[in-house]
A = this chain, B = another copy of it.
Amino acid sequence: MSEEFLKVARAAREAAAELAPLPRAPKDRALRAIADALVAHAAEIVAANAEDVERARAEGTSEAMIDRLRLDEGRIAKIADAVREVADLPDPVGEVVRGSTLPNGLELRQLRVPLGVIGIIYEGRPNVTVDAAALCLKSGNAVLLRGSSSAYSSNTALVAVMQGALEGTEVPVGAIQLVPGRTRDSVKELLRARGLVDVLIPRGGASLINSVVEESTVPVIETGVGNCHVYVDAEADVDLAVKILVNAKAQRPSVCNAAETFLVHQDIADAFVPKALEALAEAGVTVHGDERIAAHGAGVVPATDDDFAAEYLSLDIAAAVVGSLEEAVEHIRRHGSGHTDAIVTRSQRAARRFVALVDSAAVAVNASTRFTDGGEFGFGAEIGISTQKLHARGPMGLPELTSTKWVYTGEGHLRTSEGTVVAG
């Protein structure tokens, strides 16, 4: 590993040890200091961001992508507000998750503790730099940030401002670190930093996440790939199903909880599909359907297996007719990403069965898939949506950024082959 990387990783490790036992108040003071500093130094941040924007333009980046990259004083004020909101959230650290007095008198407690050092690898907008740092700090973790190389100047400025803000606080400056270097090597170092980094959270497309999972020796929490389904059951209310489908697909097509496929029971296809095709067309959505879908309207593009596997993130949707609820479940099992799948039905029995059989982070009943979101769930903030089964599944809020520690207290408790003896 490079000296530069080891330096920041070790600084984060040391800061994590200092930060972990801090109670809420000093952490909240540090977060408010960060928010104030971001506003106070907005001009410097905008100047650094201008370098990224200029470079992106020179490289022929699309205006839409440049708009995602751009920071101005208004956007920085919003980022600062989000940090203040994190300060207002309860602190998960120290929560007693379970506790009891054992039969032998030992007092047993399971407490929430920080994970330690969290590595975040992300492709998103520069605001993620600040959001992720704030959530890690609040949950008592040091953070190693590895953002998109296209936002490197912005991220460098944002981290410098945040570190500067920590200088007058009880939170160690080393708790927020940018991984140095813009090349892919700096990602590789993070992936091999077992012992220095406790968990990696990749946020981005499927290819980023797969490469992290394949190469990392540090434990990984996979996030965010969403091939979400809406299944319209034989006993669905057709008009309701159309509304849920259009909302799930078109309300914000670029996000991971948008629907990418709809499946409809054959018994209701004649009633549902024509109305659905019409409503989707009105919303500007292209339908990639199987033959039985195409039979109901013009403009349906023939679907391949690739369509059923696709996370379009655009105004496209795959569609198929299925013979039964079980066939829908089987389709979701084969093609889905384990994010969110919805059923629309009036049948209590069908809803219960779909919920039991679909193996995804979230299952929606008579609701849009768009509600799978830390904000909607009342978490106040989220670091991402886990689509794996270990540690955290679904929207990850502050408690998902913690581990636990068992504490047991006795007065001279010894274990013997005949049971506990208290030596006191």
Chain A residues proximal to chain B, CB less than 8 Å = 17, 20-21, 100, 102-103, 106, 108, 110, 113, 115-116, 194, 198-199, 213-214, 217, 219-221, 237, 239-240, 243-244, 247, 251, 333, 351, 355-357, 359-368, 370-372, 376-378, 388-391, 393-395, 403-417, 423-424
Contact = CB atoms under 8 A, between A and B. Distances in A.
B362 A406 contact: yes
Contacts of A372: 406, 408
Contacts of A376: 102, 106, 415
A197 to B, nearest CB: 11
Given A372-B406, A408-B371, A377 B102 contact: yes
Contacts of A366: 409-413, 424
Contacts of A389: 115-116, 198-199, 403
Q: Return the 6 tightest CB-CB contacts between A and B, nearest first.
A: A367-B410, A389-B403, A367-B413, A370-B415, A247-B414, A391-B391
Copies of this protein chain in the complex: 2
Given A240-B423, A389-B198, A391-B390, A365 B408 contact: yes
Nearest to A257: B415
Contact of A251 (B351, B404, B415): B415
A193 to B, nearest CB: 13
A244 B351 contact: no
Contacts of A417: 251
15 contacts: A17-B357, A100-B378, A103-B378, A110-B394, A199-B389, A219-B219, A247-B415, A351-B409, A363-B406, A363-B407, A368-B413, A371-B408, A372-B408, A390-B391, A394-B406
A225 to B, nearest CB: 13
